[in-house]
């Protein structure tokens, strides 16, 4: 019990000391980095089609926005639900930007909030992802994390495997987009200043992913979306008063990237 109290105390102490983040960087344009979005949705929600259509339109038709996103279809994929539980999400649709730096409940605000989050200070790192279709539902994935600063960077790297046009449908019987299947990579990385770290993994759709196998995934319909978050946890708030808890532990994204195969 004493150890649990100590761990919680450390997390809360870190959450209120953002100055410990170290160096940050801004670029010349409005976006300091590519924003990462996670849209929580379910197939039976009457409000989810509007959210799904809105963010898909922003991603495809608004070149002023520098972001990538995944859809967490909570009632279809237990792995998506597990991520949602980490975010303490109780209402849908809900858009989590940069690992929970900002939480947006109104689709009409998506564009402005992506722009706001895109202008925030981040660590001077960049991420790149490449992938190749091996065959038989297997994909080779490689993520590069480059530390452009001079201090050690500790990052939480996730590479989400998604279907561009999902097997799962919303309440209007329209397919979700960039629906999360499972992680190809979900690990921590240590990158010294001025260095680059490379993580390689093979995603096998025939393997067990939660209670699914995805041996039927198709080349041409897969996108790998990768992000790196600084390891330090922050206590964030969801935009509601009930039910409790409203707080969740976030790790803020420093950069994101995508490759389609």
Per cent of the chain over pLDDT 70 is 89
Tell me which residue of 184, 130, 193, 119 sits closest to 157, measured CA to CA: 184
Whether the per-residue pLDDT at 24 is higher than 60: the answer is no
- Residue 5 has a pLDDT of 36
Architecture of the domain defined by 125-160+181-260? Sandwich (2.60)
Q: What is the pLDDT of residues 48-82, one digit of tens each?
A: 999 999 999 999 999 999 999 999 999 999 999 99
Query: Domain locations in the chain?
Result: 125-160+181-260
CB of 237 closer than 8 Å to CB of 177: no
**CA–CA distance from 100 to each of 26, 164, 184, 250 (Å)?**
20, 23, 21, 5
Which tens digit of pLDDT belongs to each residue from 80-135?
999 999 999 999 999 999 999 999 999 999 999 999 999 999 999 999 999 999 99
Question: How confident is the prediction for the chain on average, in pLDDT?
Answer: 91
Question: What global pTM score does this model have?
Answer: 0.89
Top-confidence residue, 9 or 207: 207
Q: pLDDT tens, 123-182?
A: 999 999 999 999 999 999 999 999 999 999 999 999 999 999 999 999 999 999 999 999
Question: Using an 8 Å Cβ cutoff, are 127 and 226 in contact?
Answer: yes
């Amino acid at each position: 019990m004493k150890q649990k109290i100590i761990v919680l105390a450390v997390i809360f102490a870190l959450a209120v000391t953002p100055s410990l983040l170290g160096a940050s960087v801004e670029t010349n344009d409005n976006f300091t980095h590519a924003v990462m979005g996670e849209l929580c949705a379910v197939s039976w929600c009457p409000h989810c089609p509007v959210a799904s259509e809105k963010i898909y339109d922003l991603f495809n038709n608004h070149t002023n926005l520098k972001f990538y996103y995944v859809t967490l279809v909570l009632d279809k994929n237990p792995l998506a639900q597990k991520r949602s539980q980490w975010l303490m999400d109780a209402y849908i649709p809900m858009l989590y930007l940069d690992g929970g730096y900002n939480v947006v409940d109104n689709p009409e605000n998506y564009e402005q909030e992506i722009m706001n989050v895109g202008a925030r200070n981040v660590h001077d790192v960049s991420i790149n992802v490449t992938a190749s279709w091996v065959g038989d539902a297997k994909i080779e994935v490689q993520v590069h994390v480059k530390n452009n600063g001079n201090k050690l960077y500790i990052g939480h790297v996730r590479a989400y495997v998604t279907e561009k046009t999902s097997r799962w449908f919303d309440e209007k019987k329209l397919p979700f987009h960039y629906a999360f299947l499972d992680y190809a990579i979900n690990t921590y990385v240590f990158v010294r200043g001025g260095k680059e770290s490379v993580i390689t993994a093979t995603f096998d759709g025939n393997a067990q992913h939660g209670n699914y196998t995805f041996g039927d995934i198709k080349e041409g319909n897969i996108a790998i979306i990768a992000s790196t978050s600084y390891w330090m946890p922050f206590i964030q708030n969801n935009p509601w008063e009930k039910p409790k808890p409203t707080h969740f532990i976030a790790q803020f994204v420093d950069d994101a990237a995508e490759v389609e195969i």
